[in-house]
Chains A and B, each alone.
Chain A
Amino acid sequence: MNLLKFLILSFLGVMFISLPAQAVIEIDITRGNVQPLPIAITPLIGDSDALTKVGSVLQIGEKIAQVVTADLERSGLFSAIDPGAFINTDNTSSAPQFSNWRAVGAQALLTGGAVLEGDGRVRVEFRLWDVLAGSQMIGLRLFTAPSNWRRIAHLISDAIYKRLTGEDGYFDTRIVYISESGPYLDRIKQLAIMDQDGYNHEFLTDGSYMVLNPRFSPTSQEITYLSYYNDTPRVYLFDIETGKREMLGEFEGMTFAPRFSPDGKKVIMSKAERGNSDIFVMELATRHVQQLTTHSAIDTSPSYAPEGDYVTFNSDRGGSQQLYVMNSDGNNIKRISFGAGIYATPVWSPRGDLIAFTKQTGGKFYIGVMRPDGTGERILTESFFEEGPTWSPNGRVLMYYRKYPYDNRGGGGDTQLWSVDLTGYNERQIITPLDGSDPAWSPLLD
C-alpha cells in the first residue's frame, strides 16, 4: 500500500516538476478615485429639412443630446465633455475615430441619428462606445411621436446609466408634488406633476382646496393624496392617465400619510381619532381595512419594505418621536432609531437596503439614511427646515423639500424641491414654476 502511495505521489511529483512555471506579478488594487465618468455626447445627426411640429429632425436630435447631457450630469456620476473641445463631431460612420475621443479625455462616447419615418414618427438610433477599448457597449433604436422626444432622451439616459453603473436609471420618471403660492398664512396648495427634470409641468388640482401627501403607486400611474375637499381630510386615489379620482372610503376622524404597498394593491395610512393616531392598511380591491397598531401613542408615516414583509413608521411611544419597524401584520414592533433628536417620515428604499428619514435636532433639520436594523445612520443634508424624502426608483437618489425662514414682514417661508444622492455630495435644486413641497417620485414609466 505504501509502495503504491509512493508511486502515485512520485508520478504526481513528476507531473508538477514537468509543468513549466511562469513569472507572474499579482497585485491587489484596493483603492481608486470615485469620480464622474467623462462622456462625450455628440448631437444626434438628422435632416434639417425633415420638419415636424416641434422643429426639424436635426433640431430634435440636438435637443435630445442636450437632455441626455443634462440627465447624466445631474446624476453626479458622469461629466459631459464640452462639445467645444470635440476634435471631430462627425458621427456618420459606424465606427468613430477613437483616438480623437481619447485625446479629449472621453471614456465613453454617444453617437447616433434621427430620421423622420413615413408615418410621421421619428426613429432614433444611438450607440454607446467604450472609447478606451474601442468597442460598442449599447446600440438601440427607438420610435416615437416627435412631440415625445423628451422621453426618448430620458430612455437613452437610462440605457447609458444602466450600462455604465450596473443600476437601473431613473430619468424616465415623474414627480408629483405640492405646488405652493401665496402668503404663508393663506397658502394655496395644488397638486402638480412634472418630469423628474422639471419639464412637462402640469397642475392636477386648481387650488380651491388643500392637498397634501401625494404618493405614487409603485406599479402604475396612480397617486394617492390627502385632500381637504369639502373641508374634510380624506385619502383619495387619482389615476393620472384617465383623470379619474375616487375617495378611499369614509373613515371616522382624520386619515393621513397614505402610501402604497409595493404591489400597489394596498394603501397603508394613519388615522387619528380622539387625539390618538394608529396605522391601518386597506386592500384597494375589497376596501377591507385592517388596523396594524393599537397604542395610545401617535403612530404615523408608515412605509412598506420593498418585499412588503415589513413596515417602518414613526411613533412617540418611547417618549420622543422615533423610528420603528414591524412585521406587515403589525407584530414584532422594534425601535430602530436611538440618536439624539426627533426622527420622522421614514421611507424604505425601493432596493431595500436603507430607510431614509427626516431628523430634527439642535434647531436644524436633516435628511439621512440608516439600515433597516437602525445601524449605519448617515446624514446627507442639513438646513433650517427640510423634510419629506422620497426615493428615486433605483434607490440611489432622494428628493425632499426645503423651507426658508420667514422674515419679519410676514414674507419668506419659501419652499423648494431638492435632490441629493446617497453620497451626500450631489445636492441639486429642482426648479418648479412656483414653490414646491412634499415630492413623490414615480416608478419608471412603462
Chain B
Amino acid sequence: MKNALTISGLFHVVLLVTAAMEIPWFDSVENSEMVIIPVEILQFAKETRTKEIAKLPNIEREKPKPPEKRPIRQAKLPPPPPKMLSTMPLPNQVQRPTKNIKVADLRSVAPEISQREKPKPPSRYNSDRIAQLLNKVPKKENVIEQLSDRLGSQDQQATSLDVRRQVMSISSAIQKKIEDQCWNPPSGALDAGSLKVRVKFYLTQEGKLARPPVADDYVRMAGSMKVAADSALRAVRMCAPYSDLKLPQEMYDQWREVILNFDPSGMIG
C-alpha cells in the first residue's frame, strides 16, 4: 500500500513538473498577474528533487526548447536592460550539465512562476539567455545561479514594474473617463449608497465594446439594485468607444477584458 502510494506520488510529481514546464498555455499565460498560488508548489517540489534528478536529464533537454519559441513574441517587447548583457559574459567556468539542470530545474518551476506573476518578457529573455549560455559558454553552476538570480529579481522586477505601471495608467484612464463623463449613479433609493455593481466588458483593439457589457447577477436583480446596475451599464455604454484613451496596442491583451466595480458608498451616504 505504501509502495503504491509512493509510486503514485512520484508519478504525480512527474506530472506536475512536466505540466509546469511543457504546457504551451504558459506562453500566453505569462502576462497574467493572477497566478500566485503555484509558488507554493515549488516548495513541495523541492522535497522530492533528489529522487527526480535521475529523470531530469530528459526533461532538461526538452526544456531549452520552449524558451526558443518564446522570443518571437518577445521581440515586440522592450529589450532587456543592458545590465543583463554586462552580466552575460561570464567567467570561463565549467558547468556541469546535471548541475545546470538542477539549478535550472529548481528554478525551472520557480522562474516560470515568477515570470507569470511578473507579466513580462524579461523572464523569457532570461530563459533564452540561459539557454544560450548553456549551449555556448560553459559556466559554473554558481554563475548561473547568480545569473538567474539577477535576471529573476532585478531586471525582471524592473520590467514587470513597468508593465504594472502601464496597466495602472490604463486603469486610471478608463476610471477617469467613466467617473468624470459617464457614471450617473441613482441617488434616489433609500439604500442607494450600498448598491454595488460589478460590470464586465470586452473591448476590441479599436477600443469599441466587443459585446454588450454584463452586470453580475443582473437577471436576478430587481428594484433599486437593478436601477443601480442599469446606471453602471449605461456608464460603460456612454463612454464607448474608448479609442480616445489611446490604450497601447501592444498591451491589448491587458485591457481586452475589463471589470468595473461601481461603488457609490463614498458619494451617497
Q: Bound state CA distance, A21 and B6, in angstroms?
A: 31
| CB <8 Å contact, B20 and A3 | no
Give every chain A residue within 8 A of B6 (Cβ-Cβ): 3
Q: How large is the interface on A (under 10, 10 to 19, 20 to 34, 35 or more residues)?
A: 35 or more
Q: Which residue, of B37, B170, B232, has the highest number of chain A Cβ atoms within 10 A?
A: B37
**A407 at interface by CB-CB < 8 Å:** no
Given contacts A34-B187, A165-B186, A166-B224, contact A13 B40 (CB under 8 A): yes
| CB <8 Å contact, A31 and B254 | no
B226-259 interface bits toward A, Cβ cutoff 8 Å, 1 = contact, 0 = none? 1110101111011000000000000001111111
Within 8 A of B (CB), among A1-50: 3-4, 6-7, 9-11, 13-14, 16-18, 20-35, 37
Given contacts A20-B28, A25-B170, A132-B237, contact A7 B8 (CB under 8 A): yes
| CB <8 Å contact, A22 and B32 | yes
**A351 at interface by CB-CB < 8 Å:** yes
Given contacts A16-B37, A17-B38, A132-B237, contact A28 B184 (CB under 8 A): no
Q: Output the nearest chain A residue to B231 by Cβ-Cβ distance.
A: A32
Stretch from B11-19, B126-134, B147-155 contacting the other chain: B11-19
Given contacts A20-B29, A23-B33, A130-B230, contact A28 B12 (CB under 8 A): no
Given contacts A16-B37, A132-B237, A167-B189, contact A32 B184 (CB under 8 A): yes
B1-26 interface bits toward A, Cβ cutoff 8 Å, 1 = contact, 0 = none? 01001101100110110011001010
Give every chain B residue within 8 A of A27 (Cβ-Cβ): 171, 174-175, 178, 258-261
**B116 at interface by CB-CB < 8 Å:** yes
Q: Bound state CA distance, A31 and B235, in angstroms?
A: 12
Interchain CB contact (< 8 A) of A3 among B5, B35, B37: B5
Give every chain A residue within 8 A of B77 (Cβ-Cβ): none
| CB <8 Å contact, B35 and A21 | yes
Q: Shortest CB–CB separation between residue A80 and chain B, in angstroms?
A: 16
**B210 at interface by CB-CB < 8 Å:** no
**A396 at interface by CB-CB < 8 Å:** yes
Q: How large is the interface on B (under 10, 10 to 19, 20 to 34, 35 or more residues)?
A: 35 or more
| CB <8 Å contact, A10 and B16 | yes
Within 8 A of B (CB), among A118-159: 130, 132-133
**A52 at interface by CB-CB < 8 Å:** no
| CB <8 Å contact, A25 and B259 | yes
Q: Shortest CB–CB separation between residue A129 and chain B, in angstroms?
A: 12
Q: Shortest CB–CB separation between residue A339 and chain B, in angstroms?
A: 19
**B52 at interface by CB-CB < 8 Å:** no
Given contacts A24-B257, A395-B190, contact A133 B237 (CB under 8 A): yes
| CB <8 Å contact, A32 and B9 | no
Give every chain A residue within 8 A of B119 (Cβ-Cβ): 23
Give every chain B residue within 8 A of A130 (Cβ-Cβ): 230, 234
Q: Shortest CB–CB separation between residue A418 and chain B, in angstroms?
A: 20
Give every chain A residue within 8 A of B212 (Cβ-Cβ): 133
Q: Output the nearest chain B residue to A24 by Cβ-Cβ distance.
A: B257
Q: Bound state CA distance, A165 and B178, in angstroms?
A: 20
Q: Shortest CB–CB separation between residue B114 and chain A, in angstroms?
A: 14
Q: Which residue, of B28, B33, B230, B259, has the highest number of chain A Cβ atoms within 10 A?
A: B230
| CB <8 Å contact, A77 and B188 | yes
| CB <8 Å contact, B12 and A7 | yes
Given contacts A4-B5, A32-B183, A167-B189, contact A22 B257 (CB under 8 A): yes
Q: Which residue, of A14, A17, A21, A35, has the highest number of chain B Cβ atoms within 10 A?
A: A17
6 contacts between A and B (CB under 8 A): A6-B44, A13-B16, A23-B31, A27-B258, A29-B260, A32-B235
B residues at A contact (CB < 8 Å)? 2, 5-6, 8-9, 12-13, 15-16, 19-20, 23, 25, 28-29, 31-35, 37-38, 40-41, 44, 47, 116, 119, 167, 170-171, 174-175, 178-180, 183-190, 212, 223-228, 230, 232-235, 237-238, 253-268
